[in-house]
Amino acid sequence: MASAWWQQGVIYQIYPRSFMDSNSDGVGDLQGIIERLDYLNDGTEQSLGIDAIWISPFYPSPMADFGYDVADYCNVDPMFGDLATFDTLVTEAHKRNIKIIVDFVPNHSSSQHDWFKTSRSSKDNSKRDWYIWKDAKADGSLPNNWQSVFGGPAWTLDETTGQYYFHQFDPAQPDLNWRNPDVKDAMLDVLRFWLERGVDGFRMDVVYMIWKHPDMPDHYSDARDVIDNSDLDEQHPAFDYPGIQDIFAEMRQILDEYDAIGIAEVWLSDEKRNAYFEHFEMPFNFDFLTYETRFKWDADFFRDAVEAYETSLPEGAFANYVLGSHDVPRLASRYDSQDRARQAAMLLLTLRGTPTLYNGDEIGMVNGDIAEDQLRDPQGINMGVEHTRDVCRTPMQWDDSDYAGFSTTETWLPVNEDYRVRNVALQDEDTTSILNLYRRLIWYRKHHPSLSIGTYQAIDVPDNIYAYLRQHEDEHHLIILNFGNTTQIVTFDGAGQIVMNTHLNRQDEIVNSQVEIASNEGVLIRLD
């Protein structure tokens, strides 16, 4: 069977506030994305070569959670443009063979959404049951002991009616009540609205959270530590209840009508997450991004995680990998080295699975230095500067002009100080830059199916090395990554040629049954 575009493609996440500001207000916008489409893929190997962009929310929003608090699901916030700009974006992207994936935020709306405004206005209005309202317990305490992901109780008292409403995230993000069929219908219509405008798929925000335990009982403990993901299922005992599958089946049907894909954001254990393959092409694989794993830089960790994932995949499921996003510290900072950021690029783009990369990682952007008084992210404001996601949301560094070519004015988050030495323009000129490594990896992958849809097989290697074979028909590649502190000789069966190493300075070197790999280097070898 021919493989689908997303199995051979690379997805690029754009955080629209920080990608490109076309109208000089310090915040990125849709027109800015249009202006940078050629950078993403102009059909030549001078561009990045990605196949799809997933754009984080650009809908009307009071921005309590920077767009993940949606006040109107079927429009564009004036800050980002309007529907006509969105339509142009779709047309221009499609001209370049770039698919458009938009963010669908089903779990909660903004408290400024008309639905919620009506809902909170009285106890007996037509939208009251569109959200989750409860009385205090008989002793006057909160309806239950569930905590918000952003810290503090998941319940806020609304003085007008004296009841509490439920919110998994900020109080400005009330959870919708998907058990009400009218809510479900209205939200499914949102999918149709964007599909009619030509989108190719959705990334579905915390979609596993939409279906709560019917009785919403107290947790086994009121000390849920949202920072420790060591037991993701216990973290979320309230979700993923029977019945959710029926909703997913309806979503699937709609996606199929438009030949669109669904990417599910699911922070659950492997087993629970894998059940989502039944309805979605890509339940995001966060095995490298949980609180426990995101800082791990270790050959055995990566090999074991990949093997466990590979063997856990249900029949017919296609793997995917994520190494960065707008919710976690920058990859180059987590691994604390530009050399390792290069290795991470090679890993992400040579494993068997659809890669999703986050804007700015392709130039090795590092965490922004955000002072306490510059915090914007509600998670950081509520839980402390060490939890802020602002660090990975600073403006894209396009060139060394003021505001990094992102804007011409003060930007919503400060531009990173290193922008004069780390930017797209400089790296464009430098044939061995990390940007050029990403470009070469992406284009090479595009032309060599063994790297996307081929089989995966790890090989035996010395400590601190992770190496694997990828094969499709008569095409064989060997990838070797040295996570250790010393140069090592790795032996393997066969001979071949180095296609590229992570420093882009060993192209075409002939290798025969062994290869020397420096510390923090990776090589991609085409076997004869």
Amino acid identity, residue 517?
I
Residues 151-170 that bind ligand NOJ (CB under 6 A): 169
Long-range contacts of 180-189 (CB under 8 A, 24+ apart): 180/129, 180/130, 182/130, 183/130, 184/247, 184/250, 186/115, 187/73, 187/106, 188/250, 188/251, 188/254
| Nearer residue to ligand NOJ within complex by CB, 25 or 327 | 327
With contacts defined by CB under 6 A, how many residues of the chain interact with ligand NOJ? 9
Round to whole Å and give the CA distance between 237 and 144: 13
Active-site entry in 51, 205, 281, 377: 205
Alpha-helical (H) ranges within 276-394 are 299-312, 331-334, 338-350, 378-383
| Nearer residue to ligand NOJ within complex by CB, 172 or 306 | 172
| The two three-digit tokens of residue 130, written as one number | 């569109």
The distance of closest approach from Cβ of residue 206 to ligand NOJ in the complex, given in angstroms and rounded to an integer, is: 5
Q: Does 310 bind ligand NOJ (CB under 6 A)?
A: no
| The two three-digit tokens of residue 29, written as one number | 């916008």
| Nearer residue to ligand NOJ within complex by CB, 287 or 521 | 287
The distance of closest approach from Cβ of residue 191 to ligand NOJ in the complex, given in angstroms and rounded to an integer, is: 17
Contacts of 335 (CB under 8 A, 6+ apart): 295, 297, 341, 344
234 among known catalytic residues = no
Round to whole Å and give the CA distance between 213 and 237: 8
Residues 259-288 that bind ligand NOJ (CB under 6 A): 265
Residues 381-440 that bind ligand NOJ (CB under 6 A): none
Contact 32, 48 (CB under 8 A): no
Contacts of 59 (CB under 8 A, 6+ apart): 67, 70, 71, 72, 73, 74, 75, 76, 77, 105
Q: Does 205 bind ligand NOJ (CB under 6 A)?
A: yes
The distance of closest approach from Cβ of residue 241 to ligand NOJ in the complex, given in angstroms and rounded to an integer, is: 19
Contacts of 364 (CB under 8 A, 6+ apart): 332, 338, 341, 342, 422, 434
The distance of closest approach from Cβ of residue 105 to ligand NOJ in the complex, given in angstroms and rounded to an integer, is: 6
Amino acid identity, residue 435?
L
257 among known catalytic residues = yes
| Nearer residue to ligand NOJ within complex by CB, 17 or 326 | 326
Q: What are phi and psi of 259, to 5 degrees?
A: 55, 40
Residue 277 burial by Cβ neighbours in a 10 Å radius (0-12, 13-18, 19+)? middle
| Nearer residue to ligand NOJ within complex by CB, 206 or 442 | 206
The distance of closest approach from Cβ of residue 61 to ligand NOJ in the complex, given in angstroms and rounded to an integer, is: 11
Contacts of 474 (CB under 8 A, 6+ apart): none
The distance of closest approach from Cβ of residue 208 to ligand NOJ in the complex, given in angstroms and rounded to an integer, is: 11
| Nearer residue to ligand NOJ within complex by CB, 325 or 488 | 325
| Site pattern 97..126 for ligand NOJ (x: CB under 6 A) | --------x---------------------
Residue nearest to ligand NOJ (CB): 68
Of 103, 95, 97, 91, the C-alpha closest to 55 is 103
> What three-state secondary structure class fits 118?
helix
Active-site entry in 225, 234, 257, 369: 257
| Nearer residue to ligand NOJ within complex by CB, 107 or 502 | 107
Calculate the CA dihedral of residues 431, 432, 438, 443 and round it to 10 degrees: 50
Report the relative pairing of strands 320-322 and 354-358 from DSSP bridges: parallel
The distance of closest approach from Cβ of residue 134 to ligand NOJ in the complex, given in angstroms and rounded to an integer, is: 21
| Nearer residue to ligand NOJ within complex by CB, 339 or 377 | 377
| The two three-digit tokens of residue 447, written as one number | 């032309």
Geometric angle at alpha carbon 67, from 65 and 69, rounded to 5°: 65
Residues 321-380 that bind ligand NOJ (CB under 6 A): 326-327
Q: Does 68 bind ligand NOJ (CB under 6 A)?
A: yes
Round to whole Å and give the CA distance between 57 and 80: 10
Q: Which of 206, 207, 346, 499 binds ligand NOJ (CB under 6 A)?
A: 206
| Nearer residue to ligand NOJ within complex by CB, 67 or 405 | 67
| Nearer residue to ligand NOJ within complex by CB, 273 or 470 | 273
Residue 22 burial by Cβ neighbours in a 10 Å radius (0-12, 13-18, 19+)? middle
Catalytic residues: 205, 257
> Which residues contact ligand NOJ (rule: CB under 6 A)?
65, 68, 105, 169, 205-206, 265, 326-327
